[in-house]
Amino acid sequence: PLRNRGHVFHSCVRSVLLYASETWAVTTEDMKRITRSDNAMVQWICSRKLTETLSTEQLRARLGLHNIQDVVRASRLRWYGHLQRMDSEKWPRKITTLEVKGQNPRGRPRKRWIDNIREDFHHLNLYNIDPQDRGKWRAAIKPQRSSASTSNPRTTGINRR
């Protein structure tokens, strides 16, 4: 039944939480907030007690869910691949290279969407993969399952004191 709960959570809650996240310029603080709320919901779904020492990663594995950072990264890179395969005359593609004329404001520049893409390329080492090859691109950006074991009775995390 936990897998079913995880499927419903991913379909109903996460889809609303991450609506249009492929176009967000996510800062570290934004990602911390999203992760914190996602972790709280995962723990609530699993009815985690304070006496249990299960990590959120183990709970996520029981629910069959990916880390929310990996989900955001995959959706952002999926959109990037779609843009790269798009005709260069279409507006979504044109906007990615748009230069706004005028003077920049003082201070550090705000984080841009393309900065997130560069971080994602570095994190997943995607420099040698061409987004034009849809099959290879999808395989490269697909989030990996967590390695938390749920079958080992020693890692169930229940304290029996």
The Cβ-side half-sphere exposure at 90, using a 13 Å CA radius, reads 8
Q: Indicate the pLDDT class of residue 150, thresholds 50, 70 and 90.
A: very low
| Residue whose token pair is 């004329």 | 101
Average pLDDT of the residues in 125-154: 76
Q: Are 65 and 6 in contact (CB under 8 A)?
A: yes
Q: Can you tell me the distance from the alpha carbon of 82 to that of 44, in angstroms, rounded to the nearest whole number? A: 35
Percent of the chain with pLDDT strictly greater than 70:
89
Specify which residues 158 forms β-bridges with.
Answer: 52
Hey, what are 86's tokens? 């798009």
What is the per-residue pLDDT across 101-132, written as a single tens digit (0 to 9) for each? 999 889 999 999 999 999 999 999 999 999 99
Average pLDDT of the residues in 17-44: 94
pTM equals: 0.83
Average pLDDT of the residues in 151-157: 41
pLDDT higher than 80, residue 91: yes
Q: Can you tell me the distance from the alpha carbon of 120 to that of 125, in angstroms, rounded to the nearest whole number? A: 8
Average pLDDT of the residues in 61-69: 94
What is the per-residue pLDDT across 69-85, written as a single tens digit (0 to 9) for each? 999 999 999 999 999 99
Please report which residue ranges of 46-152 form alpha helices under DSSP H. 56-63, 68-85, 91-96, 113-124, 134-141
Predicted confidence at residue 139, as pLDDT, reads: 93
